[in-house]
Structure formats: structure tokens, C-alpha cells
A and B are shown apart, each in its own frame.
Chain A
Amino acid sequence: MDFYSFLIQLLNGVQYGLLLFLVASGLTLIFGIMGIINLAHGSFYMIGAYMAFTLASLTGNLFVAIVVGVVLSVLLGIVLEWALFSHLYKRDHLEQVLLSYGLILVFEELRSLIVGNDVHGVAVPEIFNWSIPLTATLSYPAYRLVMSAVCLALAGLLYVLIHRTRLGMMIRAGASNREMVQSLGLDINLVYRLVFALGVALAAFAGMIAAPVSSVYPGMGTQVLIICFVVVVIGGIGSIWGALFAALLIGLADTFGKVLIPEAAGVTVYLLMAAILLWRPEGLFRRVG
């Protein structure tokens, strides 16, 4: 592999990893703070991608589609938390697993009812539809770089939100002691609702920006969900830093795994997870913030 092909794979790996981070961070926050395991989290990614497809074909503009889509997904998050997940805080994981399993079936079937089961493509927006030439034959699409930059910016914002704002303080306090936060007169239910909506919006946003590069297909949610579980297990549940590090690790392992050992492509990330489970069963970063 020469330098430029290596560079392209590296950029692809980082971009995939950052995208996974957006989905996995919501998953890990929702678990770390609310103690909820949500299998339907991958469905939000799928819903995001399908919203990008539908809204972009309605409005003709992906940016408008994304703005509308983010608003809709925040609303979806608030409604789901209010109607369903808020009943599950004190219940055991098995019931949470079942409820979210039921939700996946509902979302997938609704998707099939509304948009059908076809694979769709979404056009890359005109201003980013160009490539950076690397050599005479190789180039790198600008849109992917923009995606990576946006994901990085969001990761930074998430950090600031959690560690530098008053809401972040409430989120961190709620994660360590729910009752104490309540007795201080803070509305913990509101915090939970916001965190859940944030997680949904992040996953849906990831689906929306991924739509132009990965196409939109049934089952995309499950695929990303399971990889995100691997990310969360490697990173350590509840840890944002762990999620970022593990997502990049998985992104690179998956991308280079496909190039270097194509026979084992589907299996690389799971083997990595197995190795880390032997070494540190609690994940690499445990509960740091």
C-alpha cells in the first residue's frame, strides 16, 4: 500500500469512526446517566437517514432537510422519553431490552409502510461535491472531510456542554446521584428528557449526514447499533472519552481490516472486542465523565 492509498484509508477510517461516535455517544450517555439500555438507538440512525432522503427530495436541499430533521428527531426523543422510557428507570435491563426490541420492530415496519423496502441514494450537496486531488489518479471527496470536521466539532461541543455548562453539571450530578439532585430542587426528569432527546438527535444527525455516502437501506440501523455496542463495550459504559477513542479504533480497525484481510472483514471488530474483553472486561475508560 503506497502512501496515498494509506492516507485515503486512514481518512475513511477516521470518518467512519467519528460517525460511529455520534451514535455511540448518545447510547453511552443514555446508559451512563439514565441507566437505560436502548436497542432502538440504531433505529434513530435509520430514521435520520430516511428523513434525509424524504426531506431532501421534498425540499431539494439537504441542509434544509437536516435542520428540519434535527428538530423532528428532538421532538421524537422527547415524546419517546415521556411516553415510554420514563416508565422504565426503575425496571430491570431485561424489560428495557424487550421494550426497545419491540420499538425496533415498530420503527422498521413503519419505515416499510411509509417509504418501502428499497435502497435509496441521497445526492451530495452541490457545494461539497468536489474532490481534493492527491495524485494523478487518486483524489479524496471533500464531503467526507466535511463530515469528519462536523463530527469533530460536535464532539467538542458535547465536551463543552457536559463539562463547562450548568446543564452539564446537572447531567453529571444526575449520573452519580439521582435522589440527591432531586432533593436539591432540580428537575431531574427534565434533565433526563433532554439527554434522551440529545441522544436521539445525535444518532439521527449521524444518519442524515451519512446518507449521501452510505446510501439509505433497511437494516442500516441494526448494523450500526451492533457496532456501537462494540464501541461502548470497548470504551467503557458512560464514558464519552472512551466512546470517542473506541469509535476511532473501531473505524480504523474495520477500514484497514477490509483492505488488509478482506476474508475476515466482518469479523475484525468482534475479534478486537474479544481481545479487549480478556484484557480489561470493564472497557478501556471506565466512567470518567
Chain B
Amino acid sequence: MSRRRVALGAALAFLALFPLAGATFYTELVTKVMILAIFALSLDLLVGYTGLVSFGHAAFYGIGAYTLGLLAPKYEAANLWLTLPAAVGAAGIAALAVGVFVVRVKGIYFIMVTLAFAQMFYFVFHDTKFGRGSDGISMNFKPVATIGGTTPFDLGNAAHVYYFVLVLMLAVFAFLRTVLRSPFGRALMGIRSNEHRMRSLGFPVYRYKLASFTLAGALAGLAGYLSALQFGFVNPELLSWHQSGNVLLMLIMGGLGSLYGAVIGAFAFVAMEEIFQSLTRHWQLLLGGAIVLIVIFLPGGIASVAGRFRRTLVGEAVDE
């Protein structure tokens, strides 16, 4: 057994046993982190593995969340097994529609265009009757997981939600790992390192990028859905560009192009946020300042330091 496996096993055991420790506040906090980890994992597929830096990924997170908000009936609980696939599907379809346009451009254009499209969705939810305006939608009931007459778990219970999210996070992790090890995933990484070569080898680069964008959007929709489920309300801030910036920051903190990194980054980001928030009301000043200092004083990317940090934490050879 390598050190890495021991560390992984310990981390998993810790996550599995964590809610038994009691405090609901921390159970909910870690649930939130794991939801963000799913969100970061979905973006890592795009930024870390396909080489497409999206600054508009929150759009699909928000669409997933709003799908639950809009589908939830007023006087009864929504059904998890119907609304969850609907949210993932809606986010995936939106990502496909946006992807048709944005995947045509590269580099800096891609950053600007994804940001612009995300802002368009923000407007749709913020300024139209359809999205119910800036207050968003409050749900009166938590969704229920009833299937075939039985309810296997209770989504009103913080510990149950925790385990549900934990299982989904591990499932998304395993799914992406399989995808990345498949010929499709290898082709994406080929596109990241040399798009021209992939094209001259006969790969339909456009379709590969579009597939990656759509898949990433659908998974971000899953994360958004879970966030709406956990907090019971949705508002346009879920789609705001701050959200897109923060999830990029998580990836950078954890190290790009590593699935473990995306998860570690989500934990590191929330920890940093909680610490800053406890210090001052103007915590965004600290966050912004920290980002600036990190970028300036850690040339070669935060990933290098995060990598070193990770190597001591998880053991050798963390590269996927």
C-alpha cells in the first residue's frame, strides 16, 4: 500500500464518519463544500483537461438550481428522481446550445464569450418574469426521494443529504476518471496540448470540445441542483460571475488538471472564505488581496505549490 492510498483511505473514512460527530452546522458546511467540489470537478474537465478556460461556468450551475426552483410545486414536495435528471438535462442542453457558439473561438476570446453568455443567462433570471426577479424562488418543501412507494432516505435530514451528496461526489469523480482514461478523454488532453496536431491526425476537434463543454455543463447543473436542494431557495447570484470566478479559483488552489485537486481546492477555498469572513465584514478585500498576492508571488502557478503541498499530503505521483 502506497502512502497515497493510505491518505486517500483516511480522507474517505473521515468524510464517511464525519456526520456522526454531531454538529449539524459542520455537516451542512461540508455538504456545501462537496457540492462545490462537484462544480469544480465539472470545470476541471474543461479548464484542466480540455484547455478551455471558461469564465461563465456558473451559468450551468444556476440553470441546474433554477430547474428545481421552477419545477417544485407550490403546495407539495418535488420528487428527486424526476427533478434531478431534469436539472442535469436542462443544464446539459443549455451548455450544448452555448457550446455551439463558444467552442468556435479560442483563448482569450473564449474567456470573454463565456462570460458574456453567462451574463445573458443572469439577465434572463434576474430581469424576466420567468426567473421571478432578483429575489429568486423560495421552495416551501424539500424534495422527497420517494420511488415505487418507498422513500429510501429523507432529504430534510442534514446527515442524509450529506451522504447523498458524498455518494454523488464520489460517483462524479469515478465517472470523470473513467471518461478521462477512455479514448475520448485522451483526445481531449491531446487537444489541450496541441490542437493543430489533433486536427491533422483527423480528430473532429470541434465535436470533441463541444462534447466536453456539454458534459461539463451538465455536471455543473447537478451541482447547482444539489445546492438548491440543500438551501431551499435559488436566486440569480448563483449564476453571477463571482461564482464563475470562485470556482476557477478553487481549481487553481487545488491544482489544474487533477481530479483530486478540484476536490481539495473546494475545501481550501471554503476554508479560506470562512476564515476571512470571521475576521471582517469586508472579507472580500482580503480574498481579493490574497488572490493578487498568490498570482504575483507564486510564478509558475499556484498549482506548483499546491502540487508540492499535495505531494506531502497525499503521497507521490498524484498526476492523473
Contacts and interface: CB of A to CB of B under 8 A. Distances in A.
Q: How many of chain B's residues touch chain A, expressed as a range?
A: 35 or more
| A contact patch SS | helix
A187 interface: no
A64 interface: no
A80 to B, nearest CB: 10
Interface string B277-290: 00000101101111
Given A91-B299, A95-B301, A226-B115, A105 B291 contact: yes
Interface in A191-239: 222, 226, 229-230, 232-233, 237
Given A87-B296, A98-B295, A37 B108 contact: yes
B126 to A, nearest CB: 8
B288 A229 contact: no
Interface stretch (B86-94, B177-185, B245-253): B245-253
A222 B47 contact: no
A88 B249 CA distance: 17
Contact of B128 (A98, A99, A263, A277): A263
Nearest to A107: B288
A273 B120 CA distance: 11
A104 interface: yes
Contacts of A105: 284-285, 287-288, 291
B111 A37 contact: yes
A101 interface: yes
B120 A266 contact: yes
A99 B295 contact: yes
A1 interface: no
B152 interface: no
Interface of B: 47, 53, 55, 101-102, 104-105, 107-109, 111-113, 115-117, 119-120, 123-124, 126-128, 241, 245, 248-249, 252, 256, 282, 284-285, 287-292, 294-296, 299, 301
29 contacts: A87-B299, A88-B295, A94-B252, A94-B256, A98-B294, A98-B295, A99-B292, A101-B248, A101-B249, A101-B288, A101-B291, A102-B288, A102-B290, A102-B292, A102-B295, A106-B289, A106-B292, A113-B282, A113-B285, A229-B115, A233-B105, A237-B109, A266-B123, A267-B120, A267-B123, A270-B119, A277-B101, A277-B104, A282-B105
